[in-house]
Structure 1
Amino acid sequence: MGFNFSYLKNDIPAGIIVFLVAVPLCLGIALASGAPLFSGIIAGMVGGIVVGAISGSKLGVSGPAAGLAVIVADAIRQLGTNAEGDFSMEIGFPLFLSAVVIGGIVQILLAFLRAGIIGYYFPNSVIKGMLAAIGIIIFLKQIPHALGHDIIPDGFESFFQKDGENTFSEIWVAMGDINPAAVIISVISISILILWEQRFIKKIRLFQIIQGPLIVVVIGIIMSNFFNTTEAFTLAKDEMVNLPIASEEGGFTKLFTTPDWSRVFSSKIIITGITIAIVASLETLLCVEATDKIDPEKSITPTNRELIAQGVGNVFSGLIGGLPITQVIVRSSANIQSGGKTKVSAVFHGVLIFVSVMFAPQVMNMIPLSSLAAILFLVGYKLAKPSLFRQMSALGWEQFLPFIITIVGIVFTDLLVGIGIGLAVALFLILRKNFITPFNFRKEKEAGLIEIKLSENVTFLNKAGILQALNAVPANSKVLIDGTASEYIHPDVIEIIEDYSINAKTRNIELEVRMPDLIDKSGKDKIKLFKKKVRSSDFKEDSYFKTVFNS
Structure 2
Amino acid sequence: MYIMSTLTSQIAMTLGGSRFPGALGAMLIEILPFLRGVANDIRAVLGDSHPGLIPTVMAAYALTSFLTGTAFVILGILKLGNLVAYFPQTVLTGAIGAIGVSLFVLGLGLPFPSSAAPLSLSDVKSMLFDERHLGLLAASFFPAFVLSVSLRSRYIELWTRGFIRSAYYIPLYLLTIPTVFWITVRAVGVPNERLIATGWLFTVDSASLSSSAIVASWNYWTLFDFRLVEWWSLKSAIQNIVLLVVIGVLNLPIYVPTLAFTLDVSYDMNHELLGQGAANIFAGLVGTVPNILQYSYSVYVTRAKGGRFELFIVIILTAALFLCSGLLLPYVPTILASALVLFIGVELFLEAIWEASKTLAWMEYAVVVGTLAACTFMGFAEGFGVGIGAAAAVYLMYGVIDSPARVTRWIEWNEMQQLRTEDEDHVAAPIEGRIPSPHNHTPAPITLDPSQSALPPMPIRSADLKIHEDNADLLQKLNARVLVLSGVHL
TM-score category by the smaller chain? 0.5 to 0.7
Q: Check the 8 A contact 1:98/1:319 in 2, yes or no.
A: no
Instruction: Give the corresponding residue for 2:136.
Output: 182
The equivalent of 1:219 in structure 2 is 180
Contact 1:47 1:313 (8 Å CA) reproduced? yes
2:220 to 225, 244, 255: 255
Question: Displacement of 1:203 after TM fit?
Answer: 3.5
Match of 1:60 in 2: 23
Distance (Å, rounded) in 2 between the aligned partners of 1:150 and 1:224: 18
Q: Distance in 1 between matches of 2:376 and 2:342?
A: 16
2:418 matched residue in structure 1:
none
Residue deviations 1:472-527 (CA, integer Å, cap 9, x gap):
xxxxxxxxxxxxxxxxxxxxxxxxxxxxxxxxxxxxxxxxxxxxxxxxxxxxxxxx
Q: Does the Cα contact within 8 Å between 1:102 and 1:270 map onto a contact in 2?
A: no
The aligned residue for residue 74 of structure 1 is 37
Please state if 1:301 is matched with 2:267. Answer: yes
Provide Cα deviations, 1:400-433, integer angstroms capped at 9, x if missing partner: 1210101111222322222122112112333444
The AA in structure 2 aligned to 1:116 is G
Q: Distance in 1 between matches of 2:141 and 2:46?
A: 54
Looking at structure 2, the residues matched to 207 and 238 of structure 1 have their Cα atoms a distance apart, in angstroms, of: 33
Amino acid at match of 1:311: G
Matched letter for residue 182 of structure 1: L
- In the TM superposition, 1:128-527 aligns within 5 A as 128-145=93-110, 149-151=112-114, 163=117, 166-167=120-121, 169-179=123-133, 182-183=136-137, 185-186=139-140, 189-190=143-144, 193=147, 197=151, 198-199=156-157, 200-201=159-160, 203-204=162-163, 209=168, 211-224=172-185, 226=187, 229=190, 234-236=195-197, 238-242=199-203, 245=208, 248=212, 251=216, 254-256=219-221, 258=224, 263=231, 275-295=243-263, 298-336=264-302, 339-359=304-324, 361-385=326-350, 388-389=353-354, 391-392=356-357, 394-433=359-398, 436=401, 439-440=404-405
Contact 1:313-1:325 at 8 Å conserved across structures: yes
How many angstroms does 1:303 deviate by?
Answer: 2.0
> Which amino acid in 1 is paired with 2:9?
G
Instruction: Decide whether the 8 Å contact of 1:139 with 1:377 is kept in 2.
Output: yes
Residue pair 2:204, 2:330 contacting (<8 A) in 1 also: yes
Structure 1 unaligned residues grouped into runs of 5+: 1-38, 154-162, 445-540
Relative distance call for 1:243 and 1:128 in structure 2 (3 A) is farther
Distance in 1 of aligned mates of 2:166 and 2:354: 31
1:231 and 1:79 map into 2 onto residues whose CA distance is 38
Contact 1:45-1:351 at 8 Å conserved across structures: no
Write out per-residue CA displacement over residues 70-96 of structure 1, whole angstroms, 9 at most, x where no aligned residue: 333323333443277988344223223
> What value does the CA root-mean-square deviation take over the aligned residues?
4.2
| Contact preservation (8 Å) 2:363, 2:394 | yes
Report the CA distance between 1:278 and its aligned residue: 4.0
**Distance in 2 separating the partners of 1:275 and 1:190:** 35
Cα distance in 2 for partners of 1:112, 1:49 equals 22
In structure 2, distance between residues paired with 1:258 and 1:274: 23
Q: How far does the alpha carbon of each residue in 1:155-191 deviate from its partner, in whole angstroms, 9 at most, with x for none?
A: xxxxxxxx57524623531211434653564367347
* Per-residue deviation, 1:308: 1.8
> Contact 2:101 / 2:349 at 8 angstroms: preserved in 1?
yes
Relative to structure 1, the CA distance from residue 221 to residue 314 in structure 2 (aligned partners, 3 Å threshold; closer, same or farther) is: farther
Q: Report SS of the residue matched to 2:331.
A: coil
Is the 1:221–1:367 Cα contact (8 Å) retained in structure 2?
A: no
Could you report, residue by residue, the CA deviation over 1:304-335 in whole angstroms, capped at 9, with x for unpaired residues? 22222211211121222322111122333443
Give the secondary structure class of the aligned counterpart of 1:149.
coil
Q: Which amino acid aligns with 2:249?
A: S
Q: Larger strand proportion, structure 1 or 2? A: 1
Asked whether the 8 Å contact 1:52–1:347 carries over to 2, the reply is: yes
Q: Deviations over 1:126-145 (max 9, x none)?
A: 11111122223323432344
Amino acid at match of 2:132: I
| 3-state SS in 1 of match to 2:328 | helix
Identity of aligned residues (%): 13
- Which whole-Å CA distance do the structure 1 matches of 2:46 and 2:475 have between them? 74
CA distance in structure 1 between the partners assigned to 2:134 and 2:266 by the alignment: 45
Q: 1:98 aligns with which of 34, 55, 63?
A: 63
Q: Distance in 2 between matches of 1:275 and 1:542?
A: 63
Instruction: Give 1:292 deviation, angstroms.
Output: 1.7
Taking structure 1 as reference, are residues 89 and 231 closer, same or farther at Cα in structure 2, changes over 3 Å only? Answer: closer
CA deviation after TM superposition for structure 1 residue 246, in Å: 8.3
Task: Report the CA distance between 1:268 and its aligned residue.
Answer: 7.0
Is the Cα contact below 8 Å between 2:93 and 2:352 reproduced in 1? no
Query: Higher helix share goes to which structure?
Result: 2
TM-score, normalised to structure 2, is 0.68
Instruction: Please say if residues 141 and 342 of structure 2, whose CA atoms lie closer than 8 Å, have aligned partners that are also in contact.
Output: no
Per the alignment, do residues 440 and 194 of structure 1 end up closer, same or farther by CA in structure 2, a change over 3 Å counting? closer
Per-residue deviation, residues 258-316 of structure 1 (Å, max 9, x unmatched):
59587499777887666544432321221111112222xx2223322222221121112
Q: Work out the CA distance in 2 between the residues paired with 1:110 and 1:246.
A: 45
Q: Any gaps of 5 or more consecutive residues in structure 2?
A: 410-472, 480-490
Equivalent position amino acid for 1:379 in 2: I
Q: 1:255 and 1:76 mapped to 2: Cα distance?
A: 16
Could you tell me how far apart the structure 1 residues matched to 2:284 and 2:477 are? 65
Aligned residue in 2 for 1:43? 5
Paired residues of 2:145 and 2:343 also in contact (CA < 8 A) = no
Distance 1:314 1:259 in 2: 21
**RCO (CA 8 Å, sep 6+): is it higher in 1 or 2?**
2
Amino acid at match of 2:95: M
- Farther off after superposition, 121-130 or 372-381: 372-381
Can you list the C-alpha shifts for 1:1-20, whole angstroms capped at 9, x where unaligned?
xxxxxxxxxxxxxxxxxxxx
Counterpart of 1:436, as a letter, is I
